[in-house]
Structure 1
């Protein structure tokens, strides 16, 4: 009986950077489970599409199925981040880019509102102080004349 090491094995891989890796449908099932969890518990989910083999055809397929919703926002912090609601309520596409318009990350955020759009707690802690300072400054100015 021959040893396993004597059996020739050839591994063929598909270059995912140029084709379909077959991961759009599994991601869509993951989105479905995340929506069920959101509805049942209120718990949101974030799916990092850069963390899995995901070719251009996968992305095109996924985006075609999810569609485009009505809400979009752009955040300017270290480069533009584009937030796009999909046609599926509660499913958001987040495209993080650097100033050269190179993609850093692509996420799906399943939740009532994308986490990136929520006010950070530490920012809320300074909100009243900031507003009070601005109110004081506004009161010190001459009244606006019509």
Structure 2
């Protein structure tokens, strides 16, 4: 289904889709985050793990070291999984689990990158389907591939065509979006346009969506409620929509700036993840 800015999806399990995607793959498993990973590992023998999964244990130790002193604004760190055997990959899967943020990035030539935050915020699993499959862990506030796609695969300017009959307020809103998007630079505060409070009719919203278009990124955040973050076709312009438990939209915005803060791991998230990962390492591998 084509994503409409300002229109809630029909049905609790139907995502706002920029590109076709299996909705189930974006829903993290129920459970208490790190406790789920610990429970899975409790059934495995640590001696056998240490003997049969040395590369996985070394990788996890390196991830723990990378995240220990990390701040959210530092450069990303990548850890390739190509040298791991099946058992080691299972161990990585069990330790990291699946957290609240998932998504896809559409790349040139029809390739896709699948993104899944682990139960340890700031530690991401990225699977990149190209001419060869790439699978890696990234320690960052948001995967670098999201920032690159938002910059390289979107348009630098917003073209405003002649408006159809029946519009109310869309033209000055589009002019404001264009001005803000062109002026935004890294380090500046993001600016938010709230359509939940702004008087816009259905013609306005349809023309707005047509004008900004669909971009290459879709992120789904599952917590107490659902948040869906979509890159538009215009650089620095994002659709950020919040839904309640019945999948009814409760806040509909366009955000002009970098990757929306709601999707980013913060400094306190890194600190909590360090403690959790160290607990896992100490309990099962030492």
TM-score of the superposition, structure 1-length normalised? 0.73
Matched position secondary structure for 2:196: helix
User: Kindly tell me: are residues 133 and 53 of structure 1, through their superposed partners in 2, closer, same or farther at Cα, counting changes over 3 Å?
Assistant: same
**Match of residue 211, structure 2, among 56, 60, 65:** 65
Greater Rg over alpha carbons, structure = 1
Question: Alpha-carbon deviations, 1:90-129, whole Å to 9, x = none?
Answer: 1110111112111101111111211111113332232211
In structure 2, the gaps of 5 or more residues are 1-165
State the partner residue of 1:115: 261
Calculate the aligned-residue CA RMSD, in Å: 2.1
Helix, strand or coil at the partner of 2:268: helix
**Alpha carbons of structure 1 residues 54 and 22: separation in structure 2 relative to 1, 3 Å:** same
- Report the number of matched residues: 122
Alignment of 1:55-134 (within 5 A): 55-134=201-280
SS in 1 for 2:214: coil
Asked if 2 retains the 8 angstrom alpha-carbon contact of 1:34 and 1:44, the reply is no
Preserved contact between residue 185 and residue 257 of structure 2 (Cα < 8 Å): no
Q: Measure the CA separation in 2 of the matches of 1:123 and 1:50.
A: 30
> Does 2:280 match 1:137?
no
Q: Distance in 1 between matches of 2:186 and 2:227?
A: 29
Give the TM-score, by structure 2 length.
0.39
Conserved? CA contact 1:85–1:92, under 8 Å = yes
**Greater RCO structure (CA 8 Å; 6+ sep):** 2
CA distance in 2, matches of 1:68, 1:101: 21
Q: Which runs of 5+ in 1 are unaligned?
A: 1-19, 141-146
Distance in 2 between residues matched to 1:126 and 1:33, nearest whole Å: 39
